[in-house]
Amino acid sequence: MDTTGKVIKCKAAVAWEAGKPLSIEEVKVAPPKAHEVRVKIHATGVCHTDAYTLSGSDPEGLFPVILGHEGAGTVESVGEGVTKFKPGMSKWTIYPHLGSVRFKFFRKKLYIYSAITHSEYTVVSEISLAKVDENAPLDKVCLLGCGISTGYGAAINTAKVEAGSTCAVFGLGAVGLAVIMGCKSAGATRIIGIDINPDKFETAKTFGATEFVNPKDHSKPIQEVLVELTDGGVDYSFECIGNVGIMRAALEACHKGWGTSVIIGVAGAGQEISTRPFQLVTGRTWKGTAFGGWKSVESVPKLVNDYMNKKLMVDEFVTHTLPFAQINEAFDLMHAGKSIRTVLQL
């Protein structure tokens, strides 16, 4: 049945309020307006940023909302003026520019988060889509929508890790593992993984970690442990947790004169970071990163091509694949530390 120009009814995971399980509901998705594209989502990831908003800690979080921003699918229909995309074309979603609310539950408008991939259909601006290799498996490249690209790019683009350097990565979830992959790709000699869950260490080794530190095994602050371990501090450190105390520790673990620390984790609403000015005036650099410094539409096809040419690990991040109806189980696995990334099939 031709659905062009018509409202579509589909299933979506709706967060009615903070801290509550998602509910699979039938929603109405409006047709695309000028310069918009309606997409059939085939696969989507579940990211810590989704959990952050769902928890109620996000100051910009509004409810009810449909979450999701790691997604891939095919073009269902296009709005007036769209020339780059045609129905049936494979695509990958990126962080969209703000647009109008296009989802309704009966007569109630639903807020949207980023690209809205926790829905069978979504509507986004044409500038929020990237064409990808038609042969790329959508249940893998959907993950390039956030975590993998962010961590990998934080090392490659933001920190600009140099060959022969020493790196410390705080937090060995998907983003931290992607940072490790980026540090290895850049030629780092020592890549120290830091986490309080020792079960993650063996996995981190497959991505390029050379050694591990569990803060619980030491009575000293972790930054002091790392300074001693590296004879003065690391060249680059990465905070992939969202803990303001660890952000400070990551900075103070850097070497005087040239050490660079990159903040990737998202802290809770109202939290602030602090350190002694001496930590910065002695030559350390404190930086943040968004999407790993990639230029979205221009960079994503390259990342997909690197994956297709086996230059970028993606399959290794997928520990679970579940049907869309089990989305709450995907969040449970993440919170329990039992998954790296769960892919939901729609």
What is the model's pLDDT at position 92? 67
Question: Mean pLDDT lowest for which of 33-47, 100-114, 243-257, 274-288?
Answer: 100-114
Question: In terms of DSSP bridges, do strands 36-45 and 121-125 run parallel, antiparallel, or are they unpaired?
Answer: antiparallel
Domain with CATH 3.40.50.720 in the chain: 150-291
Specify the CATH class of 150-291 in words.
alpha beta
Reading the block at residue 66, the tokens are 């449909």
What is the model's pLDDT at position 115? 65
Cis bond before residue 64 (omega within 30° of 0): yes
Q: Is the pLDDT of residue 316 over 50?
A: yes
Helices (H) and strands (E) in the chain, counts: 10, 19
Domain with CATH 3.90.180.10 in the chain: 8-131+314-345
pTM, whole model, 2 decimals?
A: 0.92
Residue-wise pLDDT tens digits, 211-222: 999 999 999 999
285-296: average pLDDT: 92
Q: Give the amino acid at 315.
A: D
The CATH code of the domain at 8-131+314-345 is 3.90.180.10
What is the model's pLDDT at position 109? 54
Q: Is the pLDDT of residue 89 over 80?
A: no
* 3-state secondary structure (DSSP) of residue 123: strand
182-197: average pLDDT: 98
254-267: average pLDDT: 96
Q: pLDDT band for position 127 (50/70/90)?
A: confident
Q: pLDDT band for position 183 (50/70/90)?
A: very high
Give the angle subtended at the CA of 76 by the CAs of 72 and 81, to the nearest 5°: 105
Give the angle subtended at the CA of 63 by the CAs of 58 and 68, to the nearest 5°: 70
Q: Is the pLDDT of residue 323 over 80?
A: yes
